Copies of this chain bind each other. A is one copy, B any other.
Amino acid sequence: MSELNERTLTSSGFYVTKEAPIHTDNPVQTPEAPAPDILRCAYMELVVTDLAKSREFYVDVLGLTVTEEDDNAVYLRSIEEFIHHNLVLRQGPVAAVAAFSYRVRTPEDVDKAEAFYKELGCRTERKAEGFTKGIGDSVRVTDPLGFPFEFFYETEHVERLAWRYDLYTPGALVRLDHFNQVTPDVPRAVRHYQDLGFRVTEDIQDEEGTVYAAWLRAKPTVHDTATTGGDGPRMHHVAFSTHEKHNILAICDKLGALRLSDHIERGPGRHGVSNAFYLYLRDPDGHRVEIYTQDYYTGDPDNPVVTWDVHDNQRRDWWGNPVVPSWYTDASLVLDLDGNPQPVVARTDASELEATIGADGFSYTRKGDTTEGFKLGNQL
């Protein structure tokens, strides 16, 4: 349950508050150990079932740069990155996420992370030589919500290729932007990630205070991760940035030319939440990848927190274009520290899909309008 008072309605139809309007009756304990100082989401380790096919998708189609590779894994980075990688593709038996990896400010913050999770009773594993190539001393944990998080500072520096325009493709991916996690109890997740040092920038709620999703940041963008309400723990997507909107359109055009357009799941479009321009793809294993550009600066501590009404049909697509159901229902498994998929727990709070589409759901373009605004749903 969340507080909906003291919020201000903006001229754009959403609300702003000074404090994140999300509270939980079921919190994870707050450790006494200080949280590590997290800089940013740094890389995701994806388990893929056909490494060659996945390499083709991420390298030949999306144009990520191969830093290093072997028979078992490919280490990829975006064109402005200087750390060893932003994505690891590792061959494995079941498509899943092995790690959501965050970079911390100092080597000592890895110790802090370890202590923080140990106090919470979470399983942790520390490797001085790192869990993947190019990364040094790291700790991996299964966090209280069941997600495999990693924290590291040490990494091999590689050349930032930002100036190498001879290597750019029309849809060049320039940065890793964020992760998105599916979890049944969003307020509980938010409170825990606030304890870890993240700050809420936006959320989606209904009039009863049910929270459907929340966005949390370390670096001053709209998010480093988001918590999406649903059966979890699962990984909703990993997102890379382009410089401009036409770069995202170029990715769609190229997928069409390669007769791979069925990899496009949703978009391109303009998000309400984050105000970014977006596209969602599905990789050969069904892992969802977002391509994203142009959200806003959120680095001030009093950055206004934006709350969207779940019935606002422009919250997820500012143009009111429909969200395909698979976008709500599908997500990737996540692994425990032994490499086994975490069991998925069903969400018991209201579902955004049900609340907005279908027999009992409704959405509006203009608040108070009696016509239902979900365009495609009405028509099919």
Q: Nearest chain-B residue to A105 (Cβ)?
A: B301
Contact partners of A314 in chain B: CB under 8 A: 256, 259, 261
A83 touches B160 (CB 8 A): no
The A134-162 residues at the B interface (CB cut-off 8 A) are 157, 159-160, 162
Q: Is A250 an interface residue (CB 8 A)?
A: yes
Q: Is A300 an interface residue (CB 8 A)?
A: yes
Contact partners of A245 in chain B: CB under 8 A: 244-246, 249
CB < 8 Å neighbour of A164 from B12, B220, B365, B366: B12
Q: How far is the CA of A255 from the CA of B272 in the complex (A)?
A: 13
Q: Nearest chain-B residue to A103 (Cβ)?
A: B300
Q: Which bracket fits the contact residues of A?
A: 35 or more
Residue among A160, A166, A219 with max Cβ neighbours from chain B (10 Å): A166
Count identical subunits in the complex: 4
B325 touches A275 (CB 8 A): no
Main SS at interface, chain A:
loop
Contact partners of A103 in chain B: CB under 8 A: 300
The A311-333 residues at the B interface (CB cut-off 8 A) are 313-314, 318-322, 324-326
Contact partners of A168 in chain B: CB under 8 A: 170, 250, 253-254
Contact partners of A160 in chain B: CB under 8 A: 10, 16, 296, 304
CB < 8 Å neighbour of A376 from B105, B246, B376: B376
Q: Is A127 an interface residue (CB 8 A)?
A: no
Q: Nearest chain-B residue to A365 (Cβ)?
A: B262
Contact partners of A32 in chain B: CB under 8 A: none
B256 touches A320 (CB 8 A): yes
9 contacts between A and B (CB under 8 A): A12-B163, A82-B300, A83-B300, A103-B300, A169-B170, A170-B172, A244-B246, A252-B318, A261-B320
